[in-house]
Amino acid sequence: MNQAQMQLQAARDADAAVYDPIDLGNAQDKFQQAQNAVAKRDYDDAVQLADEARASAELARTKARLGAARAQIQNKTSANQQLREQIDQSLADQQQQNQSQASGLPQQQQTGDMPAPPSSALGEPVPQGQGFQTYPQNPNPDQPAPASSTDQGGHQ
């Protein structure tokens, strides 16, 4: 009776009520019948019923452990699938970004933003002969415009 009672408790602790309620119920019924047989002093039936209760409780505990392991595997499988989908999406995003960079279009043009020049280029003087050069407007079109200092490389 003690072994049957210990196995019943172990089955309950393993959540047999969730994963295998039929075998747990069977074990509890057999244990109750064994207790009734002891009360009637029918010890031969009590021993057999207690042994059946112990076996059913052990079966319920084993099935409960199996059910819990399957549930854990299912949870891990779902989590792995979500991670795979995230990785696939990340790889697809990265591949799309690589293709757009390979097409020669800067990333800023794709988003509509204009790229800013590097900060080092902003403070540098324009080298002579490059960039815009302004000439004073010639008020007299019949005479040639005066030469600027940039045209002669020095002062007038």
Sign of CA pseudo-dihedral 146, 148, 149, 152: negative
Query: Does a structural domain hold residue 74?
Result: yes
Query: How many Å separate Cα 4 from the centre of its chain?
Result: 45
Query: Does a structural domain hold residue 52?
Result: yes
Domain limits for position 18:
2-102
How many structural domains comprise the chain? 1
Query: Does a structural domain hold residue 94?
Result: yes
Task: Please provide the DSSP assignment of 37-95 as one string.
Answer: HHHTT-HHHHHHHHHHHHHHHHHHHHHHHHHHHHHHHHHHHHHHHHHHHHHHHHHHHHH
Query: Does a structural domain hold residue 151?
Result: no
Quote the pTM value: 0.54
* Average pLDDT for 30-52: 94
Sign of CA pseudo-dihedral 35, 37, 42, 44: negative
* Average pLDDT for 126-146: 60
pLDDT-wise least confident of 67-81, 93-107, 124-138: 124-138
* Average pLDDT for 124-141: 60
At 62, which CATH number? 1.20.1270
Span 43-97, pLDDT tens digits: 999 999 999 999 999 999 999 999 999 999 999 999 999 999 999 999 998 988 8
